[in-house]
Structure 1
Amino acid sequence: MTDAERPVLVSTDGRLGRITLNRPRAINALTLEMIRLIDEALTAWEGDDAVACVLLDGAGERGLCAGGDVILMRDSALATDRTPVMDFWREEYRLNARIASYGKPIVAVLDGVVMGGGVGLAAHASHAVVTERVRFAMPEVGIGFTPDVGGTFLLSRAPGELGTHLALTGASVGAGDVLACGFARSFLAAEEVDEVAAALVTGADVPTVLTAASMRSGEIPGSTLEEGRDWIDECYAGDDAAQIVARLRERPETGAHAAADLVERQSPTSVAVTLAALRRAAALDSLEECLEHEWATSLAFLDTPDFVEGIRAAVVDKDRSPTWSPPALATVPQAEIARHLGPLPDGVPPLFG
């Protein structure tokens, strides 16, 4: 198999272990094979004293990773055998937790499109760096799903209600916003990535290398989210999604009205469940606890009509005209929200422990 055919490129150079997602035509969207290859590399390097740190990036210029294999998810939701998607989520979520607790520094480069599963790979790394080209999003509510891969952990811990805004709108944001939310630690011009890799090959101190590269990268982009903190924090407070939309409509800012339009465009069930999941995640102590709850919620969505419909409209038919059921936030039953936040199905083991 040539390098062009390998979905993940794994290599070592000096003290650096490098993992490059290598499906550029698919914006490096994740498959189960890729998850396993990443995990195998981390296992091999964990006890290898020759490897001092790991660099995670993506091939091509379109982005680090556009997310997970949503066609697999839809096919599994339509089938009686959910084993394929359960295997995918189980191993993906465990990998997210492993990246967060890995014993060596991981420098993850958030460049270009970084969405869904790509966020789970990169934002949990010890040294997540963001470039000027990033388009970051957790857009799951737009396909009848909910933020997973530790997304509830990340979003619920963003300052104020910034994470709630991103989760309920599914909006994509740039480098300044990613930094403002705490999803990355430093800004790095895309042209600096190779320089950083070359320095890490020598075993140089990771924070020192990244600080120097960041200083060479110029001014950090501003954050539009920070500029809108007043209306974001006020409007997204509370546990009622319909009231959130009403407050957005009452504000004078055009950004608030645009946000209301976005929320109302998404799956009402997904929005309501996501809001409740974020509030629960804020009270949990660890990423692993959040992932455990996301595991159960993800499985519940397999029996939610909006999940199949959302993927159909966005990825299969691409008509961008989903028919949600129920059609409005005010009509989402509380029992349905509770079902998605309930325990694991009988016979399904937890992720950890």
Structure 2
Amino acid sequence: MSEPPVIARVTDGLGRLTLNRPAAINALTAEMVGILRRTLADWAESDTVHTVLIDGAGPRGLCAGGDLRAMHADAVSGGTGSLDFWAEEYRLNADIATYPKPIVTWMDGLVMGGGIGVSAHASVRIVTERSRLAMPEVGIGFHPDVGGSWLLAHAPGEIGTHLALTGGSIGAADAITAGLADHFMAADRLSDLVKALTGTKSPAPTACDGTALPAGRDAATESRAGQVAASLAVKPPPGVLDAARTWIDECYAGDDVEAIIDRLARHPSPDAQAAAKEVATKSPTSLVVALRSVRSASRLPGLQEALDQEYRLSAALLRLPDLAEGIRAQIIDKDRRPRWQPSTLAEMDPAVVDACFAG
């Protein structure tokens, strides 16, 4: 018999959820999202589970995102399966962010798109020397979803804007700098983490005045699970984002993608110039939508409102031509030569973008 796509087990207080599609780098399916939501709901009410750990099967990564081929099929046929999937996936993201018990995520290997959604909203987020995190959606005609707009909007300075518009991947230290992770451990320490969390009871944390803290990430990180993770963590190898803040914060300011690309191209830093070339290869529609989404998310009251906005954007972009074309170029035909419509930022119709946000 084949193994389930998510393996769920409880051992001495630790509920462990392992995404189990290693051949697909554990890319999420509707079935997997359903299993995760139902199991987390059951464990939230269970006295036998005190802490949850989410990891991925195989050596390649926690999760490479969602099923892009299914999205492509809907985009070209007018199907609605992706709408149902996103609705449940975004509910899962909200479940994780507000979970009443500590959730620890093991962000080893590739963590992209939907993988960010199941890990970066958790209580305690751990990266390794093999971690590569990315929100690459603008390269396929989409936008940073799964709460990505909220996470990137609250990264220091303009780091989130840089990651949103380039779609580039970052390693462990930079993930911590960007606020997408908390601790660094060597990839071979997973068994030590599991052992340390097993049997660890994490009672509801309290503030210094003795009152109960609200559910969610801030409360859970004060738990015993957060202390365990911190005790096993070490300093990661140096990243690059801290030093790059000198040009990132300057070049990515404002609400105009064309102006951002121009500042990047004119900046003396070779890295800024490289970023300008990278951004220019992305879907013009996605770039404008992504920038506005990140800017808007910074003014929204919380993650749930950002997820609501992202759902409207996802539904709108599903019906625009760039999503099907982007997935075709990257995944289906693999020619890496998308023909965006429109092909330039100058041709963008503001009314199209306004309609995406109107829903």
TM category, shorter: over 0.9
Structure 2: gaps spanning 5 or more residues: 202-223
Of the three residues 293, 297, 300, the one matched with 1:284 is: 300
User: Would the aligned equivalents of 2:150 and 2:298 in 1 still touch at CA under 8 Å?
Assistant: yes
Question: What is the CA–CA distance in structure 1 between the aligned matches of 2:274 and 2:355, rounded to whole Å?
Answer: 30
Alignment partner, residue 227 of structure 1:
243
**Length-normalised TM-score, structure 2:** 0.92
Deviations 1:152-206 (A, max 9, x none): 0000000000000000000001001100011111112111111111111121521
Alignment partner, residue 79 of structure 2:
81
How is 1:54-133 mapped onto 2 (pairs within 5 angstroms)? 54-82=52-80, 84-133=81-130
Which amino acid is the alignment partner of residue 209 of structure 1? V
- After TM superposition, the structure 1 stretch with the greater mean CA deviation from structure 2, 263-272 or 183-192, is 183-192
Alignment partner, residue 358 of structure 2:
342
How is 1:1-353 mapped onto 2 (pairs within 5 angstroms)? 1-2=1-2, 5-82=3-80, 84-203=81-200, 205-214=224-233, 217=234, 219-343=235-359
Cα offset for 1:223?
Answer: 2.2
Question: What is the CA–CA distance in structure 1 between the aligned matches of 2:186 and 2:301, rounded to whole Å?
Answer: 34
Cα offset for 1:80?
Answer: 3.2
Cα offset for 1:341?
Answer: 1.2
Cα offset for 1:129?
Answer: 1.1
Question: What is the CA–CA distance in structure 2 between the aligned matches of 1:192 and 1:232, rounded to whole Å?
Answer: 34
Question: What is the CA–CA distance in structure 2 between the aligned matches of 1:91 and 1:33, rounded to whole Å?
Answer: 10
Question: What is the CA–CA distance in structure 2 between the aligned matches of 1:259 and 1:210, rounded to whole Å?
Answer: 34
Which amino acid is the alignment partner of residue 279 of structure 1? R
User: Would the aligned equivalents of 2:73 and 2:79 in 1 still touch at CA under 8 Å?
Assistant: no
User: Would the aligned equivalents of 2:78 and 2:319 in 1 still touch at CA under 8 Å?
Assistant: no
Question: What is the CA–CA distance in structure 2 between the aligned matches of 1:78 and 1:301, rounded to whole Å?
Answer: 12
Deviations 1:114-168 (A, max 9, x none): 0000000000001111111101000000000000000000000000000000000
Question: What is the CA–CA distance in structure 2 between the aligned matches of 1:246 and 1:238, rounded to whole Å?
Answer: 12
Question: What is the CA–CA distance in structure 1 between the aligned matches of 2:313 and 2:199, rounded to whole Å?
Answer: 44
Alignment partner, residue 347 of structure 1:
none
- SS for the counterpart of 1:266 is coil
Question: What is the CA–CA distance in structure 2 between the aligned matches of 1:69 and 1:226, rounded to whole Å?
Answer: 33
Cα offset for 1:288?
Answer: 0.1
- SS for the counterpart of 1:52 is strand
RMSD value, Cα: 1.0
Question: What is the CA–CA distance in structure 2 between the aligned matches of 1:112 and 1:209, rounded to whole Å?
Answer: 22
- SS for the counterpart of 2:93 is helix
- After TM superposition, the structure 1 stretch with the greater mean CA deviation from structure 2, 187-196 or 253-262, is 187-196
- SS for the counterpart of 1:341 is helix
Count of residues in correspondence between the two structures:
337
- SS for the counterpart of 2:49 is coil
Cα offset for 1:302?
Answer: 1.2
Question: What is the CA–CA distance in structure 2 between the aligned matches of 1:42 and 1:169, rounded to whole Å?
Answer: 34
- SS for the counterpart of 1:129 is strand
- SS for the counterpart of 2:142 is coil
Question: What is the CA–CA distance in structure 2 between the aligned matches of 1:134 and 1:116, rounded to whole Å?
Answer: 14
- SS for the counterpart of 1:277 is helix
Deviations 1:1-42 (A, max 9, x none): 34xx31111111111000000111100000000000111110
The runs of at least 4 consecutive aligned structure 1 residues that moved more than 3 Å come to none
